[in-house]
Amino acid sequence: MRAIAYHDPGSIDRSDALLDVDLTLPAATGRDLLVAVQAVSVNPVDTKVRAGAPPFDGRAERILGWDAAGIVEAVGPDVTRFKAGDRVFYAGNIARDGSNAQYQLVDERIVGHAPSTLSAAQAAALPLTAITAWETLFDRLRVQDKAGTEPAAILIIGGAGGVGSVAIQIARARTDLTIIATASRPETQDWVRSLGAHHVIDHSQPMAAQIAALGLDAPAFVFSTTHTDRHLADIVDLIAPQGRFALIDDPASLDIIAFKRKAVSVHWELMFTRSLFDTADVAEQGQLLEAVSALVDQGAIRTTLTQTMSPINAANLIAAHRQIESATTRGKIVLEGWDHD
Protein backbone atom coordinates (compact mmCIF):
# COMPACT_ATOMS: atom_id res chain seq x y z
CA MET A 1 0.00 0.00 0.00
CA ARG A 2 1.04 3.61 -0.49
CA ALA A 3 1.74 5.84 2.52
CA ILE A 4 3.45 9.10 3.42
CA ALA A 5 6.04 8.83 6.18
CA TYR A 6 9.34 10.15 7.51
CA HIS A 7 12.50 8.47 8.77
CA ASP A 8 13.90 11.21 11.01
CA PRO A 9 12.13 14.11 12.72
CA GLY A 10 12.92 17.65 11.66
CA SER A 11 11.96 20.79 9.82
CA ILE A 12 9.39 20.74 7.04
CA ASP A 13 12.02 22.42 4.85
CA ARG A 14 14.21 19.31 4.77
CA SER A 15 14.18 17.43 1.46
CA ASP A 16 13.15 14.23 3.27
CA ALA A 17 10.66 15.83 5.66
CA LEU A 18 7.84 13.63 4.28
CA LEU A 19 8.25 10.86 1.73
CA ASP A 20 6.02 8.68 -0.45
CA VAL A 21 6.65 5.06 0.56
CA ASP A 22 5.26 1.58 -0.17
CA LEU A 23 4.41 -0.62 2.82
CA THR A 24 2.86 -4.02 3.48
CA LEU A 25 -0.92 -4.08 3.86
CA PRO A 26 -1.78 -4.67 7.56
CA ALA A 27 -4.34 -7.23 8.75
CA ALA A 28 -7.21 -6.59 11.18
CA THR A 29 -7.12 -8.54 14.45
CA GLY A 30 -8.95 -8.20 17.77
CA ARG A 31 -11.16 -5.09 17.84
CA ASP A 32 -9.39 -3.41 14.94
CA LEU A 33 -10.96 -2.19 11.74
CA LEU A 34 -8.95 -2.10 8.52
CA VAL A 35 -10.08 1.13 6.87
CA ALA A 36 -9.53 2.12 3.25
CA VAL A 37 -8.67 5.79 3.76
CA GLN A 38 -10.41 8.22 1.40
CA ALA A 39 -9.56 11.57 2.97
CA VAL A 40 -7.34 12.92 5.75
CA SER A 41 -7.14 16.21 7.61
CA VAL A 42 -4.00 17.92 8.88
CA ASN A 43 -3.71 19.21 12.45
CA PRO A 44 -1.04 21.00 14.52
CA VAL A 45 -0.23 17.67 16.19
CA ASP A 46 1.03 16.38 12.83
CA THR A 47 3.60 19.16 12.61
CA LYS A 48 4.67 18.79 16.25
CA VAL A 49 5.24 15.03 15.96
CA ARG A 50 7.03 15.37 12.62
CA ALA A 51 9.34 18.00 14.05
CA GLY A 52 10.35 16.15 17.19
CA ALA A 53 9.34 12.48 17.46
CA PRO A 54 11.35 9.62 15.90
CA PRO A 55 9.69 6.48 14.51
CA PHE A 56 8.43 3.93 16.99
CA ASP A 57 11.07 1.54 18.39
CA GLY A 58 12.42 -0.76 15.69
CA ARG A 59 10.61 0.99 12.86
CA ALA A 60 12.28 2.65 9.90
CA GLU A 61 9.44 5.10 9.29
CA ARG A 62 6.57 6.86 11.03
CA ILE A 63 3.18 7.56 9.49
CA LEU A 64 1.37 10.69 10.66
CA GLY A 65 -2.31 11.56 10.39
CA TRP A 66 -4.99 11.80 13.07
CA ASP A 67 -8.13 12.59 11.15
CA ALA A 68 -9.63 10.34 8.51
CA ALA A 69 -12.74 9.24 6.69
CA GLY A 70 -12.99 6.03 4.75
CA ILE A 71 -14.64 2.67 4.17
CA VAL A 72 -14.23 -0.38 6.40
CA GLU A 73 -12.34 -2.96 4.34
CA ALA A 74 -12.19 -5.74 6.97
CA VAL A 75 -12.85 -6.26 10.68
CA GLY A 76 -11.11 -8.18 13.44
CA PRO A 77 -12.88 -11.13 15.06
CA ASP A 78 -13.88 -9.16 18.16
CA VAL A 79 -15.47 -6.21 16.35
CA THR A 80 -19.16 -5.69 17.16
CA ARG A 81 -20.11 -2.19 15.92
CA PHE A 82 -18.99 -2.20 12.30
CA LYS A 83 -18.93 -4.35 9.18
CA ALA A 84 -17.13 -4.23 5.85
CA GLY A 85 -18.51 -1.45 3.67
CA ASP A 86 -19.42 0.94 6.52
CA ARG A 87 -18.45 4.60 6.07
CA VAL A 88 -16.50 5.75 9.11
CA PHE A 89 -14.61 8.73 10.51
CA TYR A 90 -12.13 8.88 13.39
CA ALA A 91 -8.98 10.49 14.80
CA GLY A 92 -7.13 7.34 15.87
CA ASN A 93 -4.38 6.77 18.42
CA ILE A 94 -1.14 8.77 18.46
CA ALA A 95 0.77 5.66 19.60
CA ARG A 96 -0.07 3.81 16.36
CA ASP A 97 0.45 4.43 12.66
CA GLY A 98 -1.67 7.33 11.44
CA SER A 99 -4.07 7.87 8.58
CA ASN A 100 -1.63 9.08 5.91
CA ALA A 101 -1.82 5.68 4.25
CA GLN A 102 -4.17 3.90 1.87
CA TYR A 103 -5.16 1.49 4.65
CA GLN A 104 -5.11 1.97 8.42
CA LEU A 105 -5.82 -0.17 11.47
CA VAL A 106 -7.93 1.55 14.14
CA ASP A 107 -9.69 0.33 17.30
CA GLU A 108 -13.46 0.28 16.72
CA ARG A 109 -14.08 1.86 20.13
CA ILE A 110 -12.73 5.24 18.93
CA VAL A 111 -14.51 5.22 15.56
CA GLY A 112 -17.88 6.64 14.51
CA HIS A 113 -20.15 6.13 11.54
CA ALA A 114 -19.53 9.03 9.16
CA PRO A 115 -22.35 11.55 8.70
CA SER A 116 -24.49 10.46 5.76
CA THR A 117 -24.86 14.05 4.57
CA LEU A 118 -21.11 14.71 4.21
CA SER A 119 -18.53 13.68 1.63
CA ALA A 120 -15.39 11.89 2.79
CA ALA A 121 -13.42 15.15 2.65
CA GLN A 122 -16.04 17.04 4.64
CA ALA A 123 -16.20 14.27 7.27
CA ALA A 124 -12.41 13.99 7.60
CA ALA A 125 -12.24 17.59 8.82
CA LEU A 126 -14.17 16.83 12.01
CA PRO A 127 -13.02 13.94 14.24
CA LEU A 128 -9.95 15.21 16.12
CA THR A 129 -11.34 18.68 16.64
CA ALA A 130 -14.81 17.41 17.54
CA ILE A 131 -13.44 14.98 20.12
CA THR A 132 -11.19 17.68 21.58
CA ALA A 133 -14.00 20.23 21.76
CA TRP A 134 -16.56 17.77 23.15
CA GLU A 135 -14.24 16.41 25.85
CA THR A 136 -13.20 19.94 26.82
CA LEU A 137 -16.76 21.20 27.11
CA PHE A 138 -18.41 18.24 28.79
CA ASP A 139 -15.67 16.18 30.48
CA ARG A 140 -13.19 18.87 31.55
CA LEU A 141 -15.17 22.12 31.94
CA ARG A 142 -18.43 20.28 32.63
CA VAL A 143 -20.40 23.18 31.23
CA GLN A 144 -23.63 21.22 31.73
CA ASP A 145 -23.29 21.80 35.49
CA LYS A 146 -23.69 25.56 35.10
CA ALA A 147 -25.65 25.97 31.88
CA GLY A 148 -28.91 27.73 32.66
CA THR A 149 -27.47 29.60 35.65
CA GLU A 150 -25.68 32.94 35.93
CA PRO A 151 -23.13 33.69 34.68
CA ALA A 152 -23.79 31.48 31.68
CA ALA A 153 -21.13 32.50 29.18
CA ILE A 154 -18.10 30.79 27.65
CA LEU A 155 -15.13 32.49 26.04
CA ILE A 156 -13.45 30.45 23.26
CA ILE A 157 -10.02 31.87 22.46
CA GLY A 158 -8.94 31.13 18.89
CA GLY A 159 -12.45 30.62 17.62
CA ALA A 160 -11.52 30.42 13.93
CA GLY A 161 -9.07 27.53 14.26
CA GLY A 162 -10.00 23.89 13.81
CA VAL A 163 -10.94 23.18 17.44
CA GLY A 164 -12.53 26.57 18.03
CA SER A 165 -14.63 26.26 14.88
CA VAL A 166 -16.29 23.06 16.05
CA ALA A 167 -16.40 24.02 19.74
CA ILE A 168 -18.57 27.02 18.88
CA GLN A 169 -21.00 24.78 17.02
CA ILE A 170 -21.17 22.07 19.69
CA ALA A 171 -21.70 24.65 22.42
CA ARG A 172 -24.45 26.30 20.38
CA ALA A 173 -26.16 22.96 19.61
CA ARG A 174 -25.88 21.31 23.03
CA THR A 175 -25.97 24.13 25.61
CA ASP A 176 -27.70 27.42 26.33
CA LEU A 177 -24.42 29.21 27.02
CA THR A 178 -23.72 32.65 25.59
CA ILE A 179 -20.75 32.04 23.29
CA ILE A 180 -18.03 34.67 23.00
CA ALA A 181 -15.38 33.77 20.44
CA THR A 182 -12.13 35.53 19.63
CA ALA A 183 -10.78 36.31 16.16
CA SER A 184 -8.44 39.07 15.02
CA ARG A 185 -9.11 39.49 11.29
CA PRO A 186 -12.33 40.52 9.50
CA GLU A 187 -12.54 37.22 7.61
CA THR A 188 -12.04 35.10 10.74
CA GLN A 189 -14.51 37.25 12.68
CA ASP A 190 -17.11 36.66 9.97
CA TRP A 191 -16.29 32.95 10.07
CA VAL A 192 -16.93 32.52 13.81
CA ARG A 193 -20.16 34.51 13.60
CA SER A 194 -21.32 32.19 10.83
CA LEU A 195 -20.63 29.20 13.10
CA GLY A 196 -22.92 30.52 15.84
CA ALA A 197 -20.87 32.76 18.13
CA HIS A 198 -23.14 35.28 19.86
CA HIS A 199 -20.32 37.79 20.27
CA VAL A 200 -16.85 38.18 18.73
CA ILE A 201 -13.90 39.99 20.30
CA ASP A 202 -10.32 40.56 19.13
CA HIS A 203 -7.69 38.53 21.03
CA SER A 204 -4.93 40.84 19.75
CA GLN A 205 -6.38 43.53 22.06
CA PRO A 206 -7.09 43.35 25.83
CA MET A 207 -10.06 41.02 26.17
CA ALA A 208 -11.42 41.86 29.61
CA ALA A 209 -12.43 45.38 28.57
CA GLN A 210 -14.06 44.09 25.39
CA ILE A 211 -16.18 41.61 27.35
CA ALA A 212 -17.16 44.30 29.85
CA ALA A 213 -18.22 46.50 26.93
CA LEU A 214 -20.64 43.79 25.82
CA GLY A 215 -22.60 44.27 29.04
CA LEU A 216 -22.23 40.60 29.97
CA ASP A 217 -21.38 38.98 33.28
CA ALA A 218 -17.89 37.54 33.50
CA PRO A 219 -17.65 34.19 31.68
CA ALA A 220 -17.92 31.14 33.91
CA PHE A 221 -15.87 29.17 31.38
CA VAL A 222 -12.81 30.00 29.30
CA PHE A 223 -11.48 27.60 26.65
CA SER A 224 -8.06 28.57 25.28
CA THR A 225 -7.06 26.80 22.08
CA THR A 226 -3.86 28.72 21.31
CA HIS A 227 -1.24 31.13 22.71
CA THR A 228 -2.41 30.56 26.27
CA ASP A 229 0.76 32.02 27.76
CA ARG A 230 0.18 35.32 25.92
CA HIS A 231 -3.39 35.61 27.17
CA LEU A 232 -3.05 34.26 30.70
CA ALA A 233 -3.09 37.58 32.59
CA ASP A 234 -6.14 38.69 30.60
CA ILE A 235 -7.91 35.38 31.32
CA VAL A 236 -7.25 35.75 35.05
CA ASP A 237 -8.78 39.22 34.88
CA LEU A 238 -11.90 38.36 32.89
CA ILE A 239 -12.97 34.93 34.19
CA ALA A 240 -15.73 34.71 36.81
CA PRO A 241 -14.92 33.76 40.41
CA GLN A 242 -15.12 29.96 40.78
CA GLY A 243 -14.90 29.68 37.01
CA ARG A 244 -13.34 26.86 35.03
CA PHE A 245 -10.46 27.26 32.61
CA ALA A 246 -9.34 24.73 29.98
CA LEU A 247 -6.48 24.73 27.50
CA ILE A 248 -5.16 22.45 24.77
CA ASP A 249 -1.93 24.07 23.61
CA ASP A 250 1.63 23.56 24.85
CA PRO A 251 3.02 26.71 26.49
CA ALA A 252 6.65 26.37 27.59
CA SER A 253 5.54 27.36 31.08
CA LEU A 254 2.27 28.34 32.72
CA ASP A 255 2.15 29.97 36.15
CA ILE A 256 -1.44 29.52 37.33
CA ILE A 257 -1.01 30.86 40.86
CA ALA A 258 -2.95 34.01 39.91
CA PHE A 259 -6.11 31.87 39.57
CA LYS A 260 -6.07 31.06 43.29
CA ARG A 261 -7.77 34.29 44.37
CA LYS A 262 -10.79 33.45 42.22
CA ALA A 263 -10.67 29.72 43.03
CA VAL A 264 -10.57 28.94 39.30
CA SER A 265 -10.09 25.29 38.36
CA VAL A 266 -7.65 24.50 35.54
CA HIS A 267 -8.15 21.63 33.10
CA TRP A 268 -5.87 20.33 30.38
CA GLU A 269 -7.39 18.41 27.48
CA LEU A 270 -5.62 15.86 25.30
CA MET A 271 -7.95 13.82 23.12
CA PHE A 272 -5.39 11.00 22.84
CA THR A 273 -5.37 10.30 26.60
CA ARG A 274 -8.16 7.73 26.51
CA SER A 275 -6.61 5.67 23.71
CA LEU A 276 -3.02 6.08 24.97
CA PHE A 277 -3.89 4.65 28.37
CA ASP A 278 -6.75 2.40 27.23
CA THR A 279 -8.92 3.93 29.93
CA ALA A 280 -12.07 2.22 31.11
CA ASP A 281 -14.13 4.82 29.26
CA VAL A 282 -12.20 4.77 25.96
CA ALA A 283 -15.37 3.81 24.08
CA GLU A 284 -16.81 7.23 24.96
CA GLN A 285 -14.90 8.61 21.99
CA GLY A 286 -16.76 6.37 19.56
CA GLN A 287 -20.05 7.30 21.16
CA LEU A 288 -19.39 11.04 21.01
CA LEU A 289 -18.45 10.72 17.34
CA GLU A 290 -21.83 9.05 16.77
CA ALA A 291 -23.47 12.02 18.53
CA VAL A 292 -21.51 14.48 16.38
CA SER A 293 -22.50 12.54 13.25
CA ALA A 294 -26.16 12.79 14.24
CA LEU A 295 -25.86 16.53 14.89
CA VAL A 296 -24.30 16.98 11.45
CA ASP A 297 -27.10 15.05 9.75
CA GLN A 298 -29.66 17.12 11.69
CA GLY A 299 -28.07 20.31 10.37
CA ALA A 300 -26.87 21.48 13.80
CA ILE A 301 -23.16 21.19 12.98
CA ARG A 302 -21.44 21.74 9.65
CA THR A 303 -18.04 20.68 8.44
CA THR A 304 -15.15 23.05 9.14
CA LEU A 305 -13.41 22.12 5.88
CA THR A 306 -12.06 25.26 4.20
CA GLN A 307 -9.38 23.90 1.83
CA THR A 308 -9.11 20.64 -0.13
CA MET A 309 -5.97 19.30 -1.77
CA SER A 310 -5.65 16.24 -4.00
CA PRO A 311 -4.20 13.66 -4.15
CA ILE A 312 -2.91 12.45 -0.79
CA ASN A 313 0.85 12.47 -1.32
CA ALA A 314 4.05 13.82 0.21
CA ALA A 315 4.12 17.02 -1.84
CA ASN A 316 0.62 18.06 -0.81
CA LEU A 317 1.16 17.07 2.82
CA ILE A 318 4.31 19.18 2.93
CA ALA A 319 2.32 22.15 1.65
CA ALA A 320 -0.39 21.52 4.26
CA HIS A 321 2.18 21.27 7.07
CA ARG A 322 3.66 24.61 6.02
CA GLN A 323 0.20 26.18 6.08
CA ILE A 324 -0.51 24.80 9.57
CA GLU A 325 2.84 26.06 10.84
CA SER A 326 2.00 29.56 9.59
CA ALA A 327 -0.66 29.74 12.37
CA THR A 328 -3.06 31.53 10.01
CA THR A 329 -5.28 28.60 9.03
CA ARG A 330 -9.04 29.12 9.14
CA GLY A 331 -10.98 25.89 9.63
CA LYS A 332 -9.42 22.67 8.34
CA ILE A 333 -7.21 21.53 5.45
CA VAL A 334 -8.14 18.14 3.96
CA LEU A 335 -6.32 15.93 1.45
CA GLU A 336 -8.52 13.63 -0.59
CA GLY A 337 -7.97 10.62 -2.86
CA TRP A 338 -4.92 8.72 -4.04
CA ASP A 339 -3.20 9.29 -7.35
CA HIS A 340 -4.19 5.88 -8.68
CA ASP A 341 -7.92 6.72 -8.31
Co-location of 315 and 225 in the same domain: no
142-180 pLDDT tens trace: 999 875 556 589 999 999 988 999 999 999 999 999 999
Co-location of 192 and 264 in the same domain: yes
Co-location of 319 and 291 in the same domain: yes
Rounded CA separation 106/310 (Å): 23
Q: What is the CATH number of the domain that holds 71?
A: 3.90.180.10
298-334 pLDDT tens trace: 999 999 999 999 999 999 999 999 999 987 778 899 9
Total domains present in the chain: 2
3-state secondary structure 187-224: HHHHHHHHHCCCEEECCCCCHHHHHHHCCCCCCCEEEE
**Who's near 157: CB < 8 A, 6+ residues apart?**
164, 182, 203, 207, 222, 223, 224, 225, 226, 227, 228, 231, 235
82-105 pLDDT tens trace: 999 999 999 999 999 999 999 999
pLDDT of residue 57: 86
Residue type, 45: V
* pTM, rounded to two decimals: 0.95
Co-location of 75 and 105 in the same domain: yes
Structural domain of residue 92, as residue ranges?
2-127+281-336
> Which of the listed residues 269, 294, 320 is the one where a domain comes to its end?
269
Residue 341 in domain: no
